Structure 1
Amino acid sequence: MSKSVIRTSTGIFAAAICVILAGCGVQGEAYQPRVTPASQSLVYIYRPYEFLTSQSTPMITCGHESIELEPGGFDEFVEDSGTVTCGVAGDTTTLKFDARAGEKYFIKQYVDSSGLSTHVRLILMDADVSADEIRECRRQGIKD
């Protein structure tokens, strides 16, 4: 095989990979920290994009908000003070935490697929760690 054919094949392969990766993840607004209301808490739920991740989008309900997060997506919502319960449709695992007015909370969603089953974990994360991770995510859905 000539160098020209190898170079052309490599270029086509590299371009195909770029096109595939460009279509991955959510195409919404980038994360921008916002001011937390003094009388409520601000809750972020996010799902970082990972190469070769599950494309499953289970329904997550957290407080009064429900969403099917795609890889690379996040959602934010305000919640009154008190216990906030987050869960996954069709799963008995829940995450509960006490929300306080004026505070921000970050919940990371992990979706693990093994064979025919999908397992979802919700983890209340440290705000400093999450602030860096969520910057890679995009706002999902339409908000007023």
Structure 2
Amino acid sequence: MGPALHVIAGPGPGQLATIAHPGDQPWTPPEMAALARAGVQILVCGARHRPSTPESSGIELITYPDPDDPATSREATEMVALATRLAQEVRSGRFVVTQSAAELGRTTLLATMTLTLLGIRPGEALRRTGVTVGRPVPQDWLHDFVAR
């Protein structure tokens, strides 16, 4: 079975998607190969989810900022910088996927910030990521993002 990608409608020419990868297990070579066959070029994942082997099927791996870092302002700055980079990658035609695993809301927030940087209004960006009413989205990083 291939990866369950949630491709988010955006302005292109590249694509943005989210994918769930539960647990603390790293991506396996067959999973990475399936992502590559789906056209994924960049995968944003937690450090513990990086493949255990150096082979990543040609997919560029980017690690989320550490959520356990006591300097939350640094994490916020790093998330905004990451969203800016991902928006540039989508603009250049690349297929970017953000992985959800820890239920911290970072995947939704990162996808929403990326879409906003691509010119989509924040409320519409949240709708496109599939956020449902009543489901919490962390607010900590939004303040720094909006201030930019």
What TM-score results when the alignment is normalised by the length of structure 1? 0.24
TM-score, with length taken from structure 2:
0.24
Higher relative helix content: 2
Question: Which structure shows the higher strand fraction?
Answer: 1
